[in-house]
Amino acid sequence: MRPDPGTATAAPRAENRWYTCDITAGRDVTIGKVFAEADRRDPGHERDWVVLADGDSHQITAIEKEATRRRVTVTIIVDLIHVLEYLLKVGWCFHKPRDNTIEGWVTARALDILRGDTRGVIALVKDLATQHPPKPGSEHERLIRTTVGYLTNKLPYLDYPRALAGGWPISTGVIEGACRHLVQDRMGITGARWGLTGAEAVLALRAIKTNGELDTYWTYHLQQENQRNHLDHYQPGQDLTGPHQHNGPPRL
C-alpha cells in the first residue's frame, strides 16, 4: 500500500509448497486432498491452520465442512486482492471518469480494512450512496449493493489485523502463480486441444513432478504396470517377465 521509503521489509517466501490438481471432480474433493496433506504434516493439529479463499461462498462452505469433519480449527482469510477489486468498482460509483483521486480513495479504504475497520468502510459506502443516490436499476446501484453485501457477508473472514500480526498471508498470489505454472503453462500452449481425461492425466503428473516425487512415482508406476500386464496373468511363483527396460519417467 505504497509504504514510505525505507520502511519495506523483505517479503516472506513460501516454503515446502505442495501441489495437487483435479479438474474432473468437485472442489470439495480437492479441498479434501489439501486437508489430508495438512493432516499428514500436522497430525496433532498443533500449528495454526490458515486457508486463503477468494470469497466464493460454496468454496468457503466446503472448507468449513472439511475442517469440521477432521475436527480441526482453521482460520479462513479472504484474499485481499478480491477485496480491492470490489473497492475499486464501488469507488468509480462516486468518482468521475478518469479521476486520478480514486487511487488514493481506494488505498485509504483498503488501509481501513487492513486495520480492522471494515464496518466503517461499509458505513461510508452506504453514506455516500445516500448522498449521491445512483439511478434505480443502474450499474452503479448494482455495484454498491453487491459491494456492501460482499463486505458484510465476508466480515468473519476479513480479520487482517490478526493475520498480519501472525505473519500469515493475506493474498493468494502464490496460489495464482501455481495455477499458472501447473495448469496454464501446459494447457494453454498454442494449438493444444484437451479432453478431460488427457488433461487430468498430464496435470496429475505435473503436480507429482513439481512436488519432487516423480522418480518415486515412476518406480511405483512400473511396478503396477508389471503387476497388471504380467504377474496377474501367471500362476503363483511363475514370474516370466524377466529383466525389462524402460526409458525413464515421461517428459512433462
pLDDT at position 235: 67
- What region, left, alpha or beta, does residue 248 occupy, with left being phi > 0 and alpha being psi -120 to 50 degrees? left
- Which residue range(s) make up the domain with 86? 81-155
The 3-state DSSP class for residue 51 equals: strand
Render pLDDT for 102-121 as a digit per residue (tens, 0 to 9).
999 999 999 999 999 999 99
Is 127 domain-assigned?
Answer: yes
- The mean pLDDT of 79-94, rounded to a whole number, is 96
- Tell me if 20 is assigned to some domain: no
Asked whether residue 222 is assigned to any structural domain, the reply reads no
In a domain, 39, yes or no: no
pTM of the full structure: 0.82
Confidence of residue 10 (pLDDT cuts 50, 70, 90): confident
- Please tell me the predicted confidence (pLDDT) of residue 172: 86
Instruction: Supply the pLDDT for residue 173.
Output: 84
Decide if 129 is inside a domain: yes
> What is the pLDDT, as a whole number, of residue 3?
66
What is the tally of structural domains in the chain?
1
Segment 175-179 shows an average pLDDT of 87
For 23, other C-beta atoms within 10 Å of its C-beta total 13
Amino acid at 60: I
In which band, very low, low, confident or very high, does the pLDDT at 21 lie, cut at 50, 70 and 90?
confident
Report in angstroms the alpha-carbon separations of 140 from 52, 129, 133, 170. Answer: 29, 9, 9, 28
For residue 58, with 0-12 CB atoms within 10 Å meaning exposed, 13-18 middle and 19 or more buried, which class applies? Answer: exposed
pLDDT over 90 (residue 125): yes
With a cut of 70, say whether residue 240 has pLDDT above it.
no
Q: Note the residue count of the chain.
A: 252
Residue 28 belongs to a domain = no
In a domain, 122, yes or no: yes
The model's pLDDT over 148-171, given as tens digits with 9 standing for 90+, comes to 999 999 999 999 999 999 989 999
